[in-house]
Amino acid sequence: MRIDRSGALVVGGASGLGEATARALHGKGAHVVAADLDTQRGEALAVSLGERARFVVADVTRPDELQEAVSAAAQAPGGLRISVHCAGIGWAERVARSKGPHGLESFEKVIAVNLVGTFNALRLASAAMLANEPDDEGERGVCINTASIAAYDGQIGQVAYAASKGGVVAMTLPAARDLAASGVRVCAIAPGLFDTPLLASLPAEARAGLAASMPFPPRLGRPEEFARFACEIAENTMLNGEVVRIDGALRMAPR
């Protein structure tokens, strides 16, 4: 897939991994639409990128809002050809404790945002890609979702988050098979510990401890590294139906 002059949608594009990805795609010549709930950061991103960039407010659990973002990205000269989904939330709670069971509402919310929201973007973006003219290799688009190593190594208190990301992993191959005949690829990235706004809120000592747990490199991942890999997936047509860990060989301990 050629990134230059392609329409790109980055869901959750106002900060963290999404912001880095929006900047990377824009730097390679894409027409980028960043969709997010954070209006202030999203509009600031669009202004900083300038031409070929736009921000759209969108809640991933609201199909009409996400469809607006998809339609905006599809207005690019080459149509919407790259969709990267980075929106997600976390939650820390055990299945059951002496105080009672895990809250059902909190579990459902994490699933709604991380799994259903990812599928919402996948179904709408891929449907828009079907209208594209195929390139020289018959490709019409690529959808890249964000899983997590928690899908494989979920820690204590991560049952909701791990379940949601496990769902993203599980749907990657069947989605790729569903869309293969139309020339649309589907992949997922499973990042480990990355230096995002979520981790930035932790004390310096806690951040240092997380970095020390990394086999190599002995540091947190940089959002730019995630973004660069997303671009590489977009450009490499043979990457399809795969979930790729980008984690410095980290396998998380129970806690």
Q: Which two tokens stand for residue 231?
A: 């671009």
Amino acid at 53: A
Q: Kindly report the number of other CB atoms within 10 A of residue 251's CB atom.
A: 12
Q: Which residues of the chain have pLDDT under 70?
A: 201-203, 206
The C-alpha atoms of residue 80 and residue 3 are separated, in whole angstroms, by 11
The pLDDT tens digits for 167-214 are 999 999 999 999 999 999 999 999 999 988 777 766 677 677 778 889
CATH architecture, domain 7-246: 3-Layer(aba) Sandwich (3.40)
**Runs of H (alpha helix) within the chain:** 16-27, 39-49, 63-74, 104-110, 117-129, 150-153, 159-180, 197-200, 204-212, 223-235
pLDDT tens per residue, range 67-79: 999 999 999 998 9
At a CB cut-off of 8 Å and minimum separation 6, what does 247 contact?
149, 190, 191, 192, 193, 221
Between CA 36 and CA 15 the distance in angstroms is: 9
Catalytic residue positions, numbered? 161
Residue among 184, 57, 190 nearest 125 (CA): 184
Cβ-based neighbour number of residue 98 at 10 Å: 4
pLDDT at residue 202, as a whole number:
64
Give the residue extent of every domain in the chain.
Answer: 7-246
pTM of full prediction above 0.85: yes
pLDDT of residue 75: 95
| DSSP annotation of 227 | H
The pLDDT score that the predictor gives to residue 48 is 97
DSSP label at residue 116 = I
